[in-house]
Amino acid sequence: MSNTGLIIEERSRDIGDFLVGRLIPFRKKRMVGPFIFIDHMGPSVIKPGHYMDIGQHPHIGLSTLTYLLEGQVMHRDTLGTEQLVTPRSVGFMTSGRGIVHTERTPGALRDGGEYPVHGYQIWVALPKALQRMNPEFSFTPAESLPSWSTAGLDFTLVAGEAYGHRSPVPVFSPLFMVEVKSRQKQVLDVKGQVSGEIGIVIVEGYIEACAERIEQGHMLASKEEDLCRIVVGEDTHIFLFGGEPFEEERHIFWNFVSTEKELIEQAKQDWKDKKFEMVPGEKGYIPLPG
């Protein structure tokens, strides 16, 4: 997904062990582990005149992770992939040296009806040694993701490793993304269960951390690795995510991520000159912003 106009920054604030803000990137915290961008899609309604139609656009240097809570998205890319992404399945596209894709409301939902759509699209930066790798796409159905319940909490491991489980999603660096739902107010201690920096997205409900109540729509980023003991409110829905941070700084422009500004400049020029391979059967072209 193109991030043109989608990053909404809010002044971050320090509450002790955590920084709090509106998803990433936000001020003071540009990345959490290898995660560099999180876009919250919806909740919204798909209907005539309001379909998702994100035309051809490029990426380099990252993997996109699409995880829907409701709705469906048809993904097409320059590899010839045509994949319907459904709730709680994982579409994982790795751009590497470059890929172009589209995301659209599937034809089956263009029947004049109204359908909910809600989910997240997440960008995971690639390790420096792999940022020019050949592009790939993988799809992992919902039933293949590890899930378990304990002490009033329901867990699904979306990607990476956590709590002694490993997701089949083929990631390229040590990371984790875990969906957690509570049925009652409950302490959640993550210490020792994940490795690296820790972020928390509050989808619904609230959590309590450092004697403060943080409501839905916000994200917390731990200021120290392997530090996280929070209280999850009743009927609350959160994501834990993060992992081992990279040593090198990442530069970002539009949909391009790299350790090298020169690679981004080259990608910008290649997109202007229409040198990227395009999506079979697709027309249209989202121009470079600015």
pLDDT score at 212: 83
Q: Say if residue 28 is in the same domain as residue 149.
A: yes
Q: Is residue 78 part of a domain?
A: yes
Q: Has residue 1 been placed in a domain? A: no
Q: Are strands 206-209 and 35-46 parallel, antiparallel or unpaired?
A: unpaired
Q: Decide if 231 contacts 185 (C-beta within 8 A).
A: yes
More confident residue, 38 or 231: 231
User: How far is residue 172's CA from residue 142's CA, in Å, rounded to a whole number?
Assistant: 20
Which stretch of 21-30, 142-151, 255-264 has the lowest confidence by average pLDDT? Answer: 21-30
Q: Are residues 229 and 89 in the same domain?
A: no
Tell me the per-residue pLDDT of 193-212, one tens digit each, with 9 for 90 and over: 999 999 889 999 999 987 78
My answer on whether 195 and 240 are in the same domain is yes
Residues 253, 237 share a domain: no
Q: Does residue 281 belong to any structural domain of this protein?
A: no
- φ and ψ of 225, to 5 deg: -70, 150
Are residues 157 and 24 located together in one domain of the fold?
yes
154 & 135 share domain? no
Would 106 be classed as within a structural domain? yes
Q: Which two tokens stand for residue 16?
A: 């002790």
Look at residue 65 and tell me whether its pLDDT is greater than 50: yes
Q: What is the mean pLDDT of residues 30-44?
A: 86
Predicted confidence (pLDDT) at residue 189 exceeds the cutoff of 50: yes
User: Is 222 contained in some domain?
Assistant: yes
223, 266: one domain: no
Q: Identify whether the C-beta of residue 276 lies closer than 8 Å to the C-beta of residue 102.
A: no
Q: Is residue 284 part of a domain?
A: no
CATH number of the domain residue 155 falls in: 2.60.120.10
Structural tokens at position 273: 């000159």
Torsion angles phi and psi, residue 182, rounded to 5: -110, 145
Question: Could you tell me the residue range of the domain that residue 136 belongs to?
Answer: 35-140+248-276
Instruction: Determine, yes or no, domain membership for 104.
Output: yes
| CA Rg value for the chain | 19
Task: Give the count of domains, the chain.
Answer: 2
**In this predicted model, which residue has the larger pLDDT, 95 or 6?**
95
For residue 105, give the nearest of 65, 48, 40 by alpha carbon: 48
**Same structural domain for residues 113 and 169?**
no
Task: State how far the Cα of 95 lies from the Cα of 115, in Å rounded to an integer.
Answer: 30
- CA gap 131, 265 in Å, rounded: 15
Q: Are 146 and 157 in contact (CB under 8 A)?
A: yes
Q: Do residues 127 and 49 both lie within one domain? A: yes
Tell whether omega for the bond before 146 is within 30 degrees of 0, i.e. cis: no
pTM for this model (two decimals): 0.90
pLDDT of residue 37: 86
In a domain, 217, yes or no: yes
Mean pLDDT, residues 145-167:
96
DSSP 95: -
